[in-house]
Amino acid sequence: MVDVNPGSLPPAADRPPLVEAMGLGHRYTKDRWIFRGVDVAARPGRVLGVLGPNGRGKSTLLRLLAGLARPTEGTVTAHAPVAYVPQSHASPFTYSLADMVLMGRSRHLKAYATPGRRDRELAEAALDRVGIAHMAHRSYAELSGGEQQMTLIARALAAECRLMVLDEPVSALDLRNQARVLTLLQELAADGLGIVLTTHHPDHALHLADDAVLVLGPDDVRTGPAAVLLDAAALGELYGLPVTTAEVAGPRGPRTTVVPDLGPARRDLTRPAASQETTA
Ligand SMILES: Nc1ncnc2c1ncn2[C@@H]1O[C@H](COP(=O)(O)OP(=O)(O)OP(=O)(O)O)[C@@H](O)[C@H]1O
């Protein structure tokens, strides 16, 4: 399965790309470019986080990188198998979770062929890797959002991809499931898989991403190391509101968090300040 880098070397920025885009530009209508001139590469063992306001072109960029759409200009070159994990996936059919994952094998099968032993083994390995083998018999349609997301990730793994492209993988998930999915993606990257994801949580990008793409506007798409790009000034400019960053002492060590200016906080002003801090 996904074991392209068993030695788990630190993810190097100069490893040969799995997918690279050069001079990428896209427009749906003649009069409006979504973006132009984007150069970006997704590499093994690295997480590339794509950030930007609603409607700025993140999903478009992802679909181009995954080879699901052709760019209006520029090139996308894939050097390895890519799997796309959609934003949400409502299935009208009552497939089991196991069958959904087995569907990841479909592009490896000849027309009308049924999955063979190796296909089943790979699907089972993907279920184990994601930690959902115990619920394999359940109906996909009845799973929670978090369980569906894990299933779609397992399906991508069963496809033997080396790059996984995920559109807002945690957008519908509660905090615990967000952490579960983000940790899984981190572990997969440590195994050598390349990861590209969009997110509306700059915190998550700071936590997870090695590289970042900031889609500020059609002619202003910035790419580079996440640690360099994701500062308060750039995030404020990106989202059009003041943003500060703060170091917080998390249970597993210090981390940087992003604090947007949400306006004045609603507080009970009769309480002493100290108790507000501890109960907030
Ligand atoms: N098939 C399409 N035909 C025409 N316009 C489209 C199509 N798909 C997307 N667009 C437009 O392209 C722009 C970028 O859309 P896209 O979905 O890539 O943005 P996004 O950054 O992913 O948005 P969000 O954060 O809201 O998911 C939007 O203005 C959208 O309306």
Q: What is the pLDDT of residue 5?
A: 46
Q: Is 88 in the pocket of ligand 1 (CB under 6 A)?
A: no
DSSP 88: -
The yes-or-no verdict on residue 218 having pLDDT over 60 is yes
Please name the residue whose Cα sits nearest to atom 31 of ligand 1. 55
pLDDT exceeds cutoff 70 at 214? yes
Gap from CA of 84 to ligand 1 centroid (Å): 17
Residue 1 has pLDDT above 80, yes or no: no
User: Is pLDDT of 247 > 80?
Assistant: yes
Nearest Cα neighbor of 46 from 12, 79, 21 is 12
Integer Rg of the chain from CA:
20
Q: Is any ligand 1 atom within 6 A of the Cβ of residue 16?
A: no
- The encoded tokens of residue 238 equal 């990106």
Amino acid at 158: A
Q: Which residue has the higher pLDDT, 278 or 240?
A: 240
Give the pLDDT of residue 88.
Answer: 63
Q: What is the pLDDT of residue 270?
A: 64
pLDDT of 280: 41
Return the number of other C-beta atoms located less than 10 Å from residue 28's C-beta. 11
Smallest Cα–Cα separation from 87: which of 162, 6, 169? 169
d(CA 82, CA 160) in angstroms, rounded, equals 9
52 lines ligand 1 (CB under 6 A): yes
Distance of CA 51 to the CA centre of its chain: 10
6 confidence band (pLDDT: 50, 70, 90): very low
**pLDDT given for residue 264 in this prediction:** 84
Judge if the beta carbon of residue 216 lies within 6 A of ligand 1. no
User: 6 CA to middle of ligand 1, Å?
Assistant: 38
How far from the centroid of its chain's Cα atoms is residue 23's Cα? 22
CA distance 263 to 241: 10
In one letter, which amino acid is 139? S
What token pair was written down for 174? 């509660």
56 lines ligand 1 (CB under 6 A): yes
Rounded CA-CA distance 115/36 in Å is 42
Q: Lay out the sheet containing 32-42: strands in order across.
A: 32-42, 19-29, 73-78
Q: Does the beta carbon of 199 sit less than 6 angstroms from any atom of ligand 1? A: no
pLDDT at 115 over 90: no
* Least confident segment among 27-31, 114-118, 255-259: 114-118
Question: 38: closest CA among 48, 194, 3, 30?
Answer: 48
- Reported as a single tens digit per residue, the pLDDT across 224-242 is 999 899 999 999 999 999 9
Token couple for 143 = 């799973």
Phi, psi of 108 (to 5 degrees): -90, -10
User: Is 250 near ligand 1, meaning CB less than 6 Å away?
Assistant: no
Question: Domains along the chain?
Answer: 19-230 (3.40.50.300)
pLDDT at position 229: 94
pLDDT at residue 204 is higher than 60: yes
Task: Report the SS3 class of residue 265.
Answer: coil
What pLDDT score was predicted for residue 25?
98
Angle at 107 between CA 154 and CA 122, to 5 degrees: 40
Structure tokens at 46: 């690295």
3 or 205: which leads in pLDDT:
205
- Band (172; pLDDT cuts 50, 70, 90): confident
Distance of CA 28 from the midpoint of ligand 1 (Å): 9
237 sits in the region (left: phi over 0; alpha: psi -120 to 50; else beta) called alpha
pLDDT at 50 over 80: yes
Residue 57 Cβ inside 6 Å of ligand 1? The answer reads yes
Residue 203 has pLDDT above 90, yes or no: yes
Give mean pLDDT, residues 51-79. 97
C-beta 34 within 6 A of ligand 1: yes
| Rounded distance from Cα 227 to ligand 1 centre (Å) | 27
Q: 26 CB less than 6 Å from ligand 1?
A: no
Between the CA of 168 and the centroid of ligand 1 the distance, in Å, is 14
Q: Is the CB of 32 under 6 A from ligand 1?
A: no
Q: Is the pLDDT of residue 195 over 60?
A: yes
Q: What is the ipTM of this complex?
A: 0.98
- CB 72 less than 6 A from any atom of ligand 1: no
Nearest CA to ligand 1 atom 3: 28
Q: What separation in Å is there between the alpha carbon of 58 and the centre of ligand 1?
A: 8
C-beta separation of 76 from 196 below 8 A:
no
Residue 259 Cα to ligand 1 midpoint, Å, equals 26
**Predicted pLDDT at 4:** 42
